[in-house]
């Protein structure tokens, strides 16, 4: 074994050096056990159908890299928001501002480059902000599809990095009714969460409603104690009414989401170095400064089965209201109100001679208003329109080709604003357009081996924050200045991958190279300060991002599941000096190792019992954007997590499911490279800069299904 390639030996040595000796030894043992002559079934990649590209398509026929998060994974893992659980996937990270706010990062790209699809339409909040999260009730999510790489072909601008697709619970079978009661508690931040759901299907008349409530006080870690104002409160209400008939379906979905997160400032006492707070760490009430985020949504989702194909029509209205309270709990400073009308019409033609065709038109109209006494971005109107066509063809029963084209046009008009005698914003208009496309294929060499390849052209228009910002952003501790001369981002990305499965093992490798013209990012303006905070300005350059993900899944013996994944991203700005060579907010390389054992208990009381141990090793990140100390290196760290669960049954009926989870078992004090809290004040006593992530956290979940 130790005469194997250096890469494998280095993997074992790295594990030993990071206190992962048991897992590393198990890796060696597992590989050797593969030779055992047991009659276990072969391990194959899961037979999964995905919907994110051209409709329902088998994953073995999709050339683009896709990750799937199934319902069981969501149940058995601990998270404080829905993006936490997504960040467990290879190539996926998150920018965090405490535990209530997280933003997804796909292969080093985030913000308006990652599109979120929920209830069949693109989620539109204020996703341009660092401390603006995703307004989705995690308990309303049944499964998640993650499309990696430019998905502009179907979704248009803002899908340059990829798409997160959140799926609802499937519709019940006819004459069925069901209720679910869920509750959760976490020890570190006192998080208490409960959710009640009721759904049914009566002769094709379907309905589903849910109410969720979540609250948490300040979290704590070994270095900072309780982190002031990391508390949050989240409430959500949703309902669905619809008809399922032979001609198709029509469903009306209504939802309301309300999040009240604290804004962590990280200010410290100059004498003691302790974080300053006006209330106790276990207090659940609001503390200045904080945000109020309300998101209202109405979606009419229709699908009609015609003789010549399937017609899908979706229309939606969204209102996002985001307020920041700094000096008073009754009067807000920043107050954004965003109205969005979405439309999506697509036609799926019947398969003809092996050809599958999907064509459509989609877009949105937006109106954003400033209703507060402070200002950051101007009010604006936006109209977006895109049309696309995709085709796929299977040849020789082994080669599956997919491709398509799309054209987008976006018009943006920004309004002027006088702040006293000063003109804060100057009116301007911009029109952007882009032609995008993709072509790729997957070749099924055998039942065990698939080879994927794909080339795609991405496009993203700059948002209003990048073009027209002019104000202090309380949540980011900086004064932001826009750049009206910014051009759209265009990218060329090439993907290649291998999926290989054989007896008791499967292996996946995905590699990519991405060239982005006019890559937009924010840059610190030296020591310049405006209104007593550092000044930042948006700028652009050409970028190159390369990397990939590898995953190996081993079943050495029956009931034992051993999974390892590794992801690496290298992001550079082309033709730049050393200090500005690397792009900011590039995730560190990461190795995630999971050992899962299904306990076979011959009991009438317990079912689906398991125990799982996880090692999360984040390598050091020295590739940082060093201009004016905009970004600092981050040392490596290792986290160990554990979970266990079972179903309690009676007469073969599941009474309830119970799970216990421990994150950061050894209470490691660490800072994730993408945490913005790294850049808060320095502790004058210890010399440590910034605020650290959450320490040890023990969680309990209980899920009670009620079949009526």
pLDDT given for residue 320 in this prediction: 95
**Polymer length of the chain:** 708
Looking at residue 603, its pLDDT comes to 79
Question: Given this model, what pLDDT does residue 60 score?
Answer: 66
Residue 54: band (very low, low, confident or very high) from pLDDT cuts 50, 70, 90: low
**Close Cβ partners of 341 (under 8 Å, ≥ 6 residues apart):** 315, 316, 317, 364, 365, 366
- Supply 11's token pair: 């993997």
Q: What is the pLDDT of residue 673?
A: 92
pLDDT recorded at residue 476 = 67
DSSP symbols for 135-198: ---GGG--EEEEEES--HHHH-TT-SSEEEEEEPPPPPPTTEEEEEEEEEEETTTTEEEEEEEE
User: What secondary structure, in 3-state letters, does 551-578 show?
Assistant: EEEECCCCCEEEEEEEEEEEEEECCCCH
Model confidence, pTM: 0.88
**pLDDT interval class at 422 (50, 70, 90):** confident
Region 204-233: mean pLDDT is 94
More confident residue, 373 or 477: 373
Average of per-residue pLDDT values in the chain: 86
Least confident span in 36-45, 253-262, 686-695:
36-45
Question: Residue 214's pLDDT is what?
Answer: 95
662-700 burial, b if ≥16 CB within 10 A, otherwise e?
bbbeeebebbbbbbbbbbbbebeeeeeebbbbbbbbbbe
CB atoms within 10 A of CB 6: 8
The Cα–Cα gap between 273 and 257 comes to 37
Name every residue whose Cβ is closer than 8 Å to that of residue 346 and which is 6 or more positions away in sequence. 311, 312, 358, 359, 360, 361, 362
- Helix/strand/coil for 73: helix
Output 209 or 174, whichever has higher pLDDT.
Answer: 209
Model confidence band, residue 585 (pLDDT cutoffs 50, 70, 90): confident
pLDDT for position 35: 37
DSSP 519-555: EEEEEEEEEEEETTEEEEEEEEEEEEEEEEEEEEEE-
User: Which residue is it, tokens 């603006």?
Assistant: 132
In whole angstroms, give the CA distance from residue 66 to residue 495.
12
Which pLDDT does position 326 carry in this prediction?
86
Query: Does residue 129 carry a pLDDT above 80?
Result: no
| pLDDT tens readout for residues 75-100 | 999 888 888 889 889 999 988 887 77
Name the residue with tokens 């060499």: 445
Rg (CA), the chain: 25
Find the mean pLDDT for residues 392-417: 91
Q: At what angle do helices 21-33 and 6-17 cross, to 10 degrees?
A: 140
pLDDT at 347 over 90: yes
Name the residue with higher pLDDT: 605 or 302.
Answer: 302
pLDDT digits (tens, 9 = 90+) for 477-529: 788 899 999 999 999 999 999 999 888 899 999 999 999 999 998 888 888 88
Contact of 149 with 546, CB cutoff 8 Å: no
Q: Does residue 84 sit in helix, strand or coil? A: helix
Report pLDDT for 475. 61
The pLDDT, as a whole number, for residue 51 is 57
18 falls in which pLDDT band (50, 70, 90)?
Answer: very low
Task: Give the position of tokens 């998150």.
Answer: 94
Distance CA 307, CA 49 (A): 24
- Residue 327's CB is within 10 A of a number of other CB atoms, namely 10
Beta-carbon contacts of residue 286 (< 8 Å; ≥ 6 apart) = 233, 260, 262, 325, 329
pLDDT in tens, 91-125: 999 888 877 788 899 999 988 899 999 999 999 98
Check residue 387 and give its pLDDT: 95
Print the SS3 string covering 612-669.
EEEEEEECCECCCCCHHHCCCCECCEEEEEEEEEEEEEECCEEEEEEEEEEECCCCCC
Q: CA 696, CA 708: separation in Å to the nearest integer?
A: 39
Q: Which residue has the tokens 């202090």?
A: 472
Distance CA 264, CA 101 (A): 11
**pLDDT for 52:** 53
d(CA 118, CA 122): 6
Cα–Cα nearest to 333, from 230, 232, 472:
472
**pLDDT-derived band of residue 30, with 50, 70 and 90 as boundaries?**
very low
DSSP state of 43: P
Mean predicted confidence (pLDDT) in 382-402: 90
CA distances from 86 to 90, 106, 120, 520, 575 (A): 9, 10, 19, 25, 34
16 pLDDT above the threshold of 50: no
Say if residue 15's pLDDT is above 90.
no
**Cα–Cα distances in angstroms (integers) from residue 438 to residues 153, 339, 492, 511, 635, in the given order:** 7, 32, 10, 17, 38
The predicted model gives 361-377 an average pLDDT of 91
Specify the pLDDT at position 295.
96
What tens digit of pLDDT does each residue of 526-559 get?
888 888 888 899 999 999 999 999 999 998 888 8
């Amino acid at each position: 074994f130790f005469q194997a390639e250096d890469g494998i030996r280095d993997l074992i040595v790295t594990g030993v050096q990071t206190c992962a000796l048991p897992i590393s030894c198990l890796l060696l043992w597992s590989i050797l056990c593969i030779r055992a002559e047991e009659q276990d079934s072969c391990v194959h990649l899961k037979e999964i159908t995905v919907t994110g590209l051209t409709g329902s398509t088998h994953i073995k026929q999709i050339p683009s890299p896709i990750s799937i998060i199934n319902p069981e994974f969501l149940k058995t893992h601990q998270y404080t928001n829905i993006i936490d659980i997504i960040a467990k996937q290879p190539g996926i990270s998150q920018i965090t501002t405490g535990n209530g706010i997280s933003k997804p990062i796909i292969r080093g790209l985030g913000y308006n480059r990652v599109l979120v699809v929920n209830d069949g339409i693109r989620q539109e909040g204020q996703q341009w902000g660092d401390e603006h999260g995703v307004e989705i009730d995690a308990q309303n999510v049944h499964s998640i599809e993650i499309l990696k790489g430019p998905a502009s072909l179907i979704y248009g601008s803002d899908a340059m990095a990829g798409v997160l697709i959140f799926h609802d619970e499937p519709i019940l079978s006819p004459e069925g009714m069901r209720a679910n009661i869920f509750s959760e508690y976490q020890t570190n931040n006192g998080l208490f969460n409960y959710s009640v759901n009721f759904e049914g299907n009566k002769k094709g008349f379907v309905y589903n409603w849910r109410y969720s409530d979540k609250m948490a006080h300040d979290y704590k870690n070994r270095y900072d104690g309780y982190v002031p104002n990391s508390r949050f409160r989240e409430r959500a209400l949703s309902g669905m009414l619809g008809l399922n008939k032979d001609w198709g379906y029509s469903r009306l979905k209504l939802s309301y989401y309300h999040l009240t997160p604290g804004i962590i400032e990280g200010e410290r006492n100059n004498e003691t170095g302790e974080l300053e707070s006006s209330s106790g760490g276990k207090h659940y009430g609001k503390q200045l400064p904080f945000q109020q985020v309300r998101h209202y949504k109405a979606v009419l989702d229709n699908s009609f089965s015609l003789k010549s194909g399937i017609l899908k029509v979706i229309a939606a209205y969204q209102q996002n209201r985001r307020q920041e309270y700094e000096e008073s709990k009754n009067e807000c400073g920043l107050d954004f109100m965003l109205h969005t009308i979405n439309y999506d019409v697509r036609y799926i033609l019947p398969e003809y001679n092996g050809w599958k065709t999907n064509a459509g038109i989609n877009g949105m109209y937006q109106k954003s208003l400033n209703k507060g006494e402070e200002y950051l971005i101007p009010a604006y109107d936006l109209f977006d329109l895109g049309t696309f066509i995709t085709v796929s063809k299977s040849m020789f029963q082994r080669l599956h080709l997919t491709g398509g084209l799309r054209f987008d046009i976006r018009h943006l008009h920004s309004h002027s604003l006088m702040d006293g005698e000063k003109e804060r914003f100057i009116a301007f208009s911009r029109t952007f357009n882009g032609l995008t496309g993709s072509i790729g294929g997957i070749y099924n060499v055998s039942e065990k081996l698939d080879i994927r390849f794909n080339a795609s052209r991405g496009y993203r228009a700059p948002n209003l924050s990048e073009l027209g910002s002019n104000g202090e952003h309380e949540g980011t501790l900086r004064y932001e200045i826009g750049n009206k001369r910014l051009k759209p981002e265009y990218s060329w990305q090439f993907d290649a991958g291998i999926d290989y499965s054989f007896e008791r093992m499967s292996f996946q490798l995905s590699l990519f190279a991405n060239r982005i013209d006019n890559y937009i990012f924010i840059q610190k303006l030296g020591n310049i300060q405006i209104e007593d905070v550092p000044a930042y300005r948006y700028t652009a350059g050409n970028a190159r991002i390369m990397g990939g993900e590898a995953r190996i899944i081993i079943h050495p013996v029956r009931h034992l599941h051993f999974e390892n994944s590794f992801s690496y991203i290298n992001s550079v700005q082309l033709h730049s000096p050393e200090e500005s060579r690397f792009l900011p907010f590039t995730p560190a390389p990461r190795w995630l190792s999971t050992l899962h054992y299904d306990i076979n208990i011959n009991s009438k009381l317990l079912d689906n019992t398991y125990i799982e141990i996880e090692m999360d090793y984040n390598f050091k990140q020295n590739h940082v954007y060093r201009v004016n100390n905009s970004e600092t290196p981050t040392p490596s760290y290792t986290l160990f997590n554990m979970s266990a669960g079972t179903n309690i049954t009676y007469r073969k009926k599941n009474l309830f499911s119970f799970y216990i989870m421990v994150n950061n078992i050894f209470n490691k004090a660490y800072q994730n490279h993408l945490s913005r809290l790294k850049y808060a004040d320095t502790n004058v006593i210890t010399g440590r800069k910034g605020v650290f992530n959450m320490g040890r956290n023990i969680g309990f979940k209980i899920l009670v299904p009620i079949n009526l």
